[in-house]
Amino acid sequence: MKFDLKTLRERKGMTAEEFAQALTRCWNESYPQDPRSFTMDMVIRMEKRPGRIDADTMDLICKIYGMTYEQLRQPPHLHLEPPEIKDNWQEVSRWKEQLEKDMENLPAAVKEKYKPALKEYRGLLAQSTRKLKIALEGHPDAGKSTMLNQLIGKEIIPTNWTPTTSSVAIVKDIQDRPKWFAPNTVAVLRDGADWDCFDAEDEDTVQEREEAILAKGDYSLIAEYGAHDGAHAEESVGCILVYVDSPLLRNCDFVDLPGFNPLGSGPVQDRTVNDPLTRDTMLSSQALDKVAGLIYLSPANSYLYGDDLTMAAAGLRAMTVLERRGENKVKPFGNVFFVATQANTVAHGDLEQLARICDDAANRVWKQIEGSPKIEARRKDSHYDCGLADLRKRFFTSEMESPALTEAFYQDLAAFLQELPLVQKKRISDEIQLFRKGQAAVFADAVNQYKAIRDDHNAARARLDAMDEGESERAEALRSSEREATDIILAMQQDTRSQCRAIYSRIINAENIVRVIEENGFKKNKRDLQELVSLLNAMLENQISAELTDKARKLEEEINVLLNKTQRNFDRAVNTGFDMNASLFNFNVGRAFAGGLSGLAAFGALSAWAASCGNLGGYILVAKAAGVLSSVGIHVGGAAAATAGVAALGGPVVLGIAIAVLAAVTVLLMLGGTWKKVIGNKIAKIYAEKGVPDKLLEACDKYWEDTLTAFRAGMEQVEQEWQAQRREYRKRVEDLDEDTLAQDIEDAEQIRDFFAGKVA
């Protein structure tokens, strides 16, 4: 039987590079007449093909472990039982089934007439009632696959699993497998495919679904398409869906993110923000926007240092706010778990020492995030203080062979997963209600308009003529508003560029870097220099994000003023010379503008407006950027949503900068002289050489470009809906048929009452 060298190495707390060094030392001690060097790549090859290890090397491995060959051949076993949780997903399922039943009870003619609105509603239900996803992230050596196998209670994910650049593995409950996909248990989807289309049962997605599938079959496909040495490793894989019979998957999906190794190998001086390794790391960061919880794994003997620290802090910032005081039982920061794996490697699992490394790690992470506007937003949304003491409670230990070192993590995770469906049901039911209330208002306006035409047809004709006469004035007023807002947005963009340069200059200079070194007591060693760089990047991100958030709030005020002015212009076009109630034509500018944001990938600074637009939020729920559709944020409003627009800056871009600079900074250990000032100057030079100032400006420009795109989409929707309503109004006025109008009123009342919740 082949032994699992990778798992044995991880349990010893050694990286592949450290194991290679140990092999080299052991070889040269055993065979001094024949010196030889082992490399990290050689170790990785041995782990993937243990049957090809030669006898001499096997003897060295036995010496390193102090074990016989027969002992090494003993397969590792899962010594921990997965945590037990109550299946609360049934509550979400029953709630969804009742809503669908209410919809099916509508008269057939009404369902056919209002098919688009009901399809939108049905799609919203389907999207928002998909299970939330919990991600596992960390270095390849952190034990992600081992942890995932432990949690689901089965050896499904191979321990040599090394996802290709663009792929992730989503592990789902076998009960969620689409009927049409049985009896297969694994689906390999092409890069760029929409994951959600795979689960859809409706005929509209059949072709899209089939085109998305690269391969389907059993669990062997995971290694074939996911591991770098797999039979199909060169295929362009976007996602691997894995269906498993596991109680822990009843309430959520697990996502195994690509193991990142951003420092990699090769000359550090040649690396830039756009290096492939950096892009791989950013792909992992971007995936965090699609999950509701994060389990971040880091080996206990090097717990959350260097790029691990940067990635962990980025993951914490990316997480949506699930906890709400008085609304659910989720603890502050309760959807984030920082787990020190292989805990036995620290003084054989000494609890006091492990507690200290968790204390230190929590302090390091807190330094990264305490100045972030997202933390203040989290406090406002959750009604918790969300301080360092709360964050410290999110740090745990884990050891496969020691339940005592894993028990606290398992208990906390089980409590969270048990609460998760209840949180989801509460949030999505609130948002669904918003959507229904908005739709009810639309159809209430239609009913009132139909009745006004019926009751005073002559007044309706006169109003139509007056609207035509004032159309050019109305259109010019709208164009003027667009130009005014565009000028405001472009001015904010230019001011942001100036502020960004100023912030960069304040932070990335030798004098400030020396101050940061002294204030934090950093020493001249690798870990402290890495933490220094992580902290400098956090300062950049936090201050620039605060600047963007402040401008977003100001833009929110400007947009509200502009929309109110636009509303008055439209009202004037409709009602000049008429009694407001004589022949109702109620056009809601804000509602149309909100609907225009639907489908956009990002709102930019308009995120603040979208988060505060009250009932109009129902018109944004159909937007892919709204968390309810991706089953991530599961809310539209709130302070956290208002800061979401800075994710383009705070996520991949700054993260890429951090990793690129981290890769270069370790060469500074060789510097002599007045090391603080010398290192301060060198770090500032590295930032400039990596093109950091330009990258920050590009990120800020993208933020405002997204803002302008969103604004123009909103205004375009205003114009389109106005013209559509005018055409509909004209058709009903000029082609009046009393019987048809009476039926339209009856049908509109039924669909209005359905969305208003007045179902018989």
Q: What is the pLDDT of residues 707-732, one digit of tens each?
A: 999 999 999 999 999 999 889 889 88
Chain centroid offset of residue 9 CA: 32
Q: Provide the residue range defining the domain that includes 50.
A: 5-72
Q: What is the pLDDT of residues 164-186, one digit of tens each?
A: 445 788 999 999 998 888 889 99
Pairing of strands 133-138, 293-299: parallel
Return the pLDDT at 630.
Answer: 36
Q: Which position has the higher pLDDT, 667 or 47?
A: 47
Pairing of strands 186-190, 237-244: antiparallel
Among residues 253, 282, 300, the one where a domain terminates is 253
Q: Flag whether 515 is in a domain.
A: no
Among residues 72, 96, 114, the one where a domain terminates is 72
Q: Which has the closest alpha carbon to 196: 129, 244, 96, 99?
A: 129
* Contact assessment for residue 92 and residue 252, using Cβ atoms and an 8 Å cutoff: no
Q: What is the pLDDT of residues 65-74, one digit of tens each?
A: 776 777 676 6
Peptide bond into 262 cis (omega under 30): no
Q: Flag whether 698 is in a domain.
A: no
Among residues 17, 39, 72, the one where a domain terminates is 72
> How far is the C-alpha of 214 from the C-alpha of 282, rounded, in Å?
24
Single-letter amino acid code for the residue at 722: W
User: How confident is residue 263, by pLDDT bands cut at 50, 70 and 90?
Assistant: very low
Query: Across residues 471-487, what is the average pLDDT?
Result: 93
Q: Flag whether 640 is in a domain.
A: no
Q: Flag whether 203 is in a domain.
A: yes
Angle between helices 403-455 and 89-104 (to 10 degrees): 20
Of 191-195, 253-257, 586-590, give the range with the top mean pLDDT.
253-257
Q: Flag whether 52 is in a domain.
A: yes
Inter-CA distances, 516 with 124, 365, 529, 595, 656, Å? 48, 16, 11, 47, 22
User: How confident is residue 191, by pLDDT bands cut at 50, 70 and 90?
Assistant: confident
Query: Across residues 634-663, what is the average pLDDT?
Result: 57
Return the pLDDT at 128.
Answer: 81
Tokens 């791989």 belong to residue: 280
Query: Across residues 197-208, what is the average pLDDT?
Result: 67
Asked if residue 540 has pLDDT above 70, the reply is: yes
Return the pLDDT at 270.
Answer: 44
Return the pLDDT at 701.
Answer: 92
> How far is the C-alpha of 477 from the C-alpha of 563, rounded, in Å?
12
Asked if residue 632 has pLDDT above 60, the reply is: no
Return the pLDDT at 487.
Answer: 97
Q: Flag whether 489 is in a domain.
A: no
- Taking the CA atoms of 601, 606, 607 and 612 in sequence, report the sign of the dihedral they define: negative
Asked if residue 760 has pLDDT above 50, the reply is: no
Span of 25-39, 257-271, 297-311 with lowest mean pLDDT: 257-271
Asked if residue 244 has pLDDT above 80, the reply is: yes
> How far is the C-alpha of 290 from the C-alpha of 292, rounded, in Å?
7
- Is the pTM here over 0.85, yes or no? no
Strand extents, DSSP E, 118-251 = 133-138, 168-173, 186-190, 213-217, 237-244
Span of 108-117, 514-523, 588-597 with lowest mean pLDDT: 588-597
Q: What is the pLDDT of residues 347-374, one digit of tens each?
A: 888 999 999 999 999 999 999 999 888 8
When divided into structural domains, the chain yields a total of 2
> How far is the C-alpha of 259 from the C-alpha of 298, rounded, in Å?
11
Tokens 């020190």 belong to residue: 340
